[in-house]
Chain A
Amino acid sequence: MAYQRVAIVGAGITKFVRRAQETGKELAAQASKMALESCGMTMKDIECVSLGTAPDAFDGVHMKGEYLSDGSGGWRKPYMRQFVGGGTGVFAPVHGWYHVASGMFDTCLVVCSEKMSSCHPHPQGAFKTIFDHTTEQPLNPTLIWIFALEMNRFMSTYGITKEEIALVSVKNKKNAMDHPAAQLPMEITVEDVMNSETLAWPVNRLDISPASDGAAAIVLASEHVAKRITDKPVWIDGVGWNLDSAYWATRDLYYPRYVEKAARMAYKMAGITEPQREIEIAEPYDPFDYKELHHMEGLLLADRGKAVEMLLDGKTQRDGDRPMCPSGGALGVGNPIAATGLMKIIEIFLQLRGEAGKRQVPGNPKCGLAQAWGDLMQVGTVVVMRI
């Protein structure tokens, strides 16, 4: 197809923390500065900016994209904000990709910044308003409901136990011990997860990623520019996104069809016909531990109901056949909503370049994937990357 080939050439990230002293703008600026420095560029080299940030309600500032534009270097430049809830961190680079792929620009800075701590006493309060105002909000829903309902349906459909799912949390929080940005790295056991507070059965506290503040950024460049900047460009070879309807209770929750649709779009673009063989490393979105398994199936990286076997066989460990969330994921590194997906893209970028340090998976992987998910359990966003 007549796309310009697009590469990631630089990356930046802040620490992910529960509550940051810095504002969302300052976090965005820190990550952007690091991304530019990492590839020897300056803001003058950047032709357009793609910003991702999730609900305005977190900050209490309506039209937060405009508010964050100066921190992300977006002023007096072609600038767009993306927002698909938790899917934002992979959708913003998709958006940046088509700015460059279209041939309109040769460089794009993609910035994702999130500050959840501003919303008091807990950002969960803001989530009530994502439900339908008439048919659902009067029941006083919490966002955890939809995860608990989905997790229960997933478990009961395939006969998976809570203990098995807890292994995802154990794995990811341990992986995060090697991530310098991590908020919640820890060595825990399945018993620790099972004994942690039950929030909404089957969801316990240690099944859930934390609320976080943080930012991440990458620099995208067209082929001829990328080759001047680095001898290790990482190519974005496939992008996909898909949105299901808001009637979430009307579809069966054990399988995310919208993730499959997004994955198939990205695989087609990247020429991938056998994802289980060709995708060597992945960062599926894991705000809850069962979501890593759920998403592996939606991404066609595991047969339906079989992701848990890959987990139990150790295949998804960092040194396994098919490493999942070697970064530590949302569960371990933290979950500043929009920044999380971009953190995952950065992890695949570093892993494919062989620059992930202690987190490096063995075997020099050449092809990886990052995915995020969000809205009212509606959206799947996928990026396929190759070195």
Chain B
Amino acid sequence: MELEKFELGATPLKESAIKDGSVLTLHKKPNLRYAWDNGVAIGRYLTELKEGRIIARKCNKCRRIMIPPRMFCELCWRPTDEWVYVRDTGTVNTFSICYVNWDASRIKEGEKPHIPAVIEIDGASPGMGILHVLGEVEPDKVKIGMKVRAVWKKPEEREGSITDILYFKPARG
């Protein structure tokens, strides 16, 4: 069989067919609400964030200090053993300079691009990173290997969320 010898279906429609109403479209917003249980590990992680601290969890078998903390070591497949405070500084493992929002819309003209990064947290095992964003830095100055430090919300504004860290900024010295 050669594909060329068949009539391949699928009829393309233009974007304008939706805009000019020649195709029926329905828009709906599902009213789904979630109340997530954060569990033991992430619950403690968030509680500590509210206090301005980052906490990790250690597995005494593989000796990894893991962040985000987890009650089970996925490598050893056994319960983890200890809580360990780690620092609020780290190293940029990789980063991007992003001009689109989560829904693929573009950032506003003049708005600074988002700079998401994987940050390896000091005190956790090497390679242990978390997703966060960078701030107080020009996009062209960001480098892999750059040392960064957390910028926290004011204590009274923290709510036990990953956003209690506003962003990470370049660390000096």
Residues in chain A within 8 A of chain B (CB atoms): 10-22, 26-27, 30-31, 34, 38, 60, 120-122, 124-125, 128, 131, 133-136, 138-142, 144-145, 148-150, 152-153, 156, 179-181, 197-203, 213-215, 245, 247, 249-253, 350, 353, 355-357
Contact = CB atoms under 8 A, between A and B. Distances in A.
B10 A214 contact: yes
Given A139-B131, A142-B98, A15 B9 contact: yes
A250 B66 contact: yes
B108 interface: no
A138 B99 contact: no
Interface residues of B, number: 60
A139 B130 CA distance: 12
A199 B9 contact: no
Interface of B: 1-4, 6, 8-15, 18, 23, 25, 27-28, 30, 34, 36, 38, 42, 45-46, 66-68, 70, 74, 93-105, 113-114, 116-118, 127-133, 139, 144, 161-163
A21 B23 CA distance: 9
A120 B27 contact: yes
- Which of B23, B70, B103, B139 has the most C-beta atoms of chain A within 10 angstroms of its own C-beta? B103
Q: Is the interface of B mostly helix, strand, loop or mixed?
A: loop
A353 B3 CA distance: 13
27 contacts: A11-B1, A14-B10, A16-B10, A17-B11, A19-B12, A19-B14, A19-B15, A19-B18, A21-B23, A26-B9, A27-B10, A34-B9, A60-B30, A121-B103, A124-B103, A135-B42, A135-B162, A136-B162, A142-B102, A150-B94, A179-B3, A198-B99, A200-B100, A201-B139, A249-B131, A253-B93, A355-B1
Contacts of A252: 93, 127
A173 B104 CA distance: 23
A149 B70 CA distance: 23
Contact of B36 (A15, A124, A131, A134): A134
A17 B3 contact: no
A133 B9 contact: no
Query: Which A-B residue pairs are the 7 nearest by beta carbons?
Result: A148-B96, A30-B9, A124-B104, A200-B98, A17-B12, A122-B104, A14-B10
User: For chain A, what secondary structure do more than half of its interface residues adopt (helix, strand, loop), or is it mixed?
Assistant: mixed
Given A120-B27, A213-B10, A357 B144 contact: no
A74 B8 CA distance: 21
Given A122-B105, A145-B131, 5 more contacts: A10-B1, A122-B104, A133-B34, A149-B95, A250-B67
